[in-house]
Amino acid sequence: MTLADYLPLALMGILAAGFVAVSLVASRLFSPNRPTPEKLAPYECGIIPETEATQRFPVKFYLVAMLFVIFDVEIVFLFAWATRWLELGWYGIAAAGLFTLFVLETLVYVWKRGALDWNVKTSGPLPA
Amino acid sequence: MQIDWLAIAPEIVVAVTILGVLAADLVLPRPLKYWTATLAVVGLTLAVVPLILMAASSVETRSLFEGSYVVDDFALVLKGLFLIAGYLVVLMSVSYIESDRYYQGEYYLLLLSSVLGSLVIASARDLIVLFIGVELTTGPLFMLAGWRKGDIRSNEASLKFFILGVLSTAILLWGMAMLYGVSGEVRFDQIRSALADPSPAAQPLVGLAILFVLVGFAFKVSAVPFHFWAPDTYEGAPTPVTAYLSVSSKAAGFVALFVTVYVALRDRVDIWGPGLWALAALSMTIGNLAALRQSNIVRLLAYSSIAQAGFMLVPFAAASVAGEQLAEGLAATVVYLVIYALMNLGAFAVVIQGARRTGTGDIDGWAGLGRIDPRLGVLAAVFFFSLAGIPPLAGWFAKFVMFRAAIAAGSAAATSLAVIAAINAVIALYYYARVAKVVWFDEAPAGAEPATEPPAASLALTLGIAAVATVVVGVFPAVFAVFGEATRVLLASG
């Protein structure tokens, strides 16, 4: 082996570090620095924030959103089969059916375990 | 489409078991939840049957899906290892998971998913299949590491593992993307022929791609300097999960490494050989030196497993850096891996039972355990001395084949690696022997009474299987050498 084989890795490191350094220095050198109170606000969008963003909110939003993404992505796989279902014949139908079975069992599981119930009593106070 | 159903029967059985466990978890009332564990054990046992049928059949290599999925003797040996290790971990988990109010069904579901992923890795001969296998193996483990939701250490374990695991996946994927970019192929044999003669302009990219893939897998096998997640994750995760992480998950990383570098990248051994040499030398030395100073038994085993990963890399790295005896090196590493799996699972079963007896994970807290519970004390000595490589326990044969392969490779770099390994084997003896010393020679705390209640039946079975295997392999190593020989088929082509 020669050390030259590892040269690309060193070059890559130098490039990565160089990009960060150049961007930081350039923005420091070339950008005008005129702070105003509005610009220094956490969200510079014209609306004055009234409360902190770090407050508690019901975890079920998160749960439902995550489940939606999972099932949405799983269903996407069926599109690939649906465009060619005639050519794939019974083999394709069996495969898609098996796949659907897996997804459906997961859905039933999630449902029966109560992950989709919206009106669950949560312990602790909720934000007003 | 023609499919060899027998070839994928183990995967199908495990997948159906996963569905069964999920359904059983849903319908069973809480007192009957332990049936999910029974289902998992039955499923893993049934999955071994097609493996035995395939080993006995005259068909040497079964190639599916246009060569992306290959079941040969190499795959059979490692699938057997994954199934048996999964089986022992499930047995270990039963009493542990049941004693606290954890979600049992989901636990076995995730564990089986991880086993399924490692079965896929052993057969993957294609970048995409391999990546799916690697992710299926690691993904469930992020959740399992954080199983004790109320325990802040378990949360830390899960988070650290997750962040570094995702980082390593990103690097691995980047490397794979570059490999695909250079070769235009995803199947390993085609990548190999494409890389045999790349254009000079693509040469730097080839080097970068190979090193990135290497780094990605080095995270999975927790080799130094990519080991930082391991000690904290091992300590915080539930002990059976730690056992699984240090055995099956590590073995899966090794298998992924074997199939990638030996099938796809064999002609570029000049690039990854020295990389492996450095990983092996660093892992052994730093793992062993850090293990010397550990006071917690699980952290000790964590650093020990980092050091053992270094030992496992030795024959593999020595053969690669010398550029010859590759099959010799592969066989030695696989034999080491199989033996390590058995004795390390035994050591973790001892840790579970020992922590239950003494109520602590501190090594000093185990003083006099040999008098409180003589059988457990003997088992502790057996597994820890086996890890150190003392004959007649299995560990000596693992170390023996490792040194034999490293010296057979012959070049100066290979021999120097063998010397580093020899020094490290002596260092390792100190901390392994210290556990035995504390258990047998230190005074038991006042008021400690001999234990009367036996360990849970499933845990006793794990201890028994691991202990018998460790002693039998140590005394009759020839029965195990055949597994190493069988793996040569991976290098048979070309």
Interval A83-105: pLDDT, tens: 888 888 888 888 888 888 888 88
> Would the CB atoms of B22 and A9 count as touching at under 8 Å?
no
CB contact under 8 A, B19 and A102: yes
pLDDT of B493 reads: 58
Residue A77 within a domain: yes
Q: What pLDDT, in 10s, does the model give residues B406-450? A: 888 878 888 888 899 999 999 999 999 998 888 888 887 777 777
Residue reference for tokens 């493996």? B51
Domain that holds residue A64: 59-112
pLDDT of residue B154 exceeding 70, the answer is yes
Q: pLDDT higher for B199 or A31?
A: A31
Q: How confident is the model at residue B470 (pLDDT cuts 50, 70, 90)?
A: confident
Better-predicted residue by pLDDT, B31 or B333: B333
**Which residue of chain A is at minimal alpha-carbon distance from B103?**
A113
Out of A1, A12, A112, closest to residue B26 by CB: A112
Please report the pLDDT score of residue B471 as a whole number.
Answer: 87
* Average pLDDT value over all residues in chain B: 87
Cβ–Cβ pairs < 8 A, chains A and B: 35
- Of B50-54, B106-110, B355-359, which gets the smallest average pLDDT? B355-359
Quick check: B23 and A105 CB within 8 A?
A: yes
By Cβ distance, the residue of B23, B26, B207 closest to A8 is: B207
CA dihedral B236, B241, B247, B250 (to 10 degrees): -70
> Residue B100 — pLDDT band, cuts 50, 70, 90?
low
Write the residue in B19, B25, B208 that is nearest to A9 by C-beta: B208
Least confident of B93-102, B383-392, B464-473: B93-102
Q: Do B207 and A5 touch (CB under 8 A)?
A: yes
How far apart are alpha carbons B275 and B319 in whole angstroms? Answer: 13
pLDDT the model gives residue B27? 85
Question: Among residues B381, B375, B376, which one has the least CA distance to residue B393?
Answer: B381
Using a CB-CB cut-off of 8 Å, the residues of chain A touching B271 are: 1, 5
| A98 occurs within a structural domain | yes
Answer whether residue B178 shows pLDDT above 80: yes
Query: Binning pLDDT at 50, 70 and 90, where does residue A127 land?
Result: very low
A75 located within any domain: yes
The pLDDT score that the predictor gives to residue B170 is 93
pLDDT-derived band at B11, boundaries 50, 70, 90? very high
Mean pLDDT of B34-62: 86
Q: Taking residues B1-30, report their average pLDDT.
A: 86
Give the tens place of pLDDT for each residue, B266-320.
888 888 888 889 999 999 999 999 999 888 899 999 999 999 999 999 988 888 8
Kindly list the domain boundaries of chain B, sorted by start residue. 269-494
pLDDT surpasses 90 at B173: yes
Contact call for residues B349 and B429 (beta carbons, < 8 A) = no
Q: Indicate yes or no: CB of A1 within 8 angstroms of CB of B1.
A: no
Q: Of B1, B18, B210, B214, which to mutate for an interface test with A (greatest number of A Cβ within 10 Å)? A: B1
What residues of chain A, 87 to 126, have a C-beta less than 8 Å from chain B?
91, 101-102, 105-106, 108-109, 112-113
Contacts for B324 with CB less than 8 Å, ≥ 6 apart: B409, B410
Residue of chain A with shortest Cα separation from B211: A9
Chain B residue set in contact with A, beta carbons under 8 Å:
1, 19, 22-23, 25-26, 204-205, 207-208, 211, 270-271, 273-274
Helices (H), B28-63: 35-56
Q: How far is B151 from chain A (nearest CA, A)?
A: 20
Percent of chain B clearing pLDDT 90 (strictly above): 34
DSSP string for residues in chain A: --GGGGHHHHHHHHHHHHHHHHHHHHHHHHS-----HHHHSSS-SSSPP-S-S-----HHHHHHHHHHHHHHHHHHHHHHHHTTHHHHHHHHHHHHHHHHHHHHHHHHHHHHTTTT-SSPPPSSPPP-
State yes or no: pLDDT of B119 exceeds 90.
Answer: yes
Quote the CA–CA distance of B302 and B361 in Å, as a whole number: 13
pLDDT at B483: 76
In a domain, residue A93? The reply is yes
Of A1, A2, A109, the CB nearest to B26: A109
CB B188 within 8 A of CB B68: no
Q: In which band, very low, low, confident or very high, does the pLDDT at B190 lie, cut at 50, 70 and 90?
A: confident
Residue A125 covered by a domain: no
Is the model's pLDDT at B399 over the cut of 50? Answer: yes
- pLDDT score, position B102: 61
Q: Minimal Cα–Cα distance from B204 to chain A, Å?
A: 5
pLDDT on residue B136: 93
pLDDT at A126: 43
Q: Nearest chain A Cα to B25, which residue?
A: A109
pLDDT at A122: 54
Asked if the structure places residue A92 within a domain, the reply is: yes
Total domains in the fold of chain A: 1
Residue of B18, B149, B171, B208 to mutate for A, most A C-beta atoms under 10 A: B208
A31 located within any domain: no
Average pLDDT in the B17-23 region? 90
Q: What is the pLDDT of residue B64?
A: 82
With beta carbons under 8 A apart, name residues in chain A contacting B214: none
Query: Complex ipTM, two decimals?
Result: 0.71
Q: Is A106 within a domain? A: yes
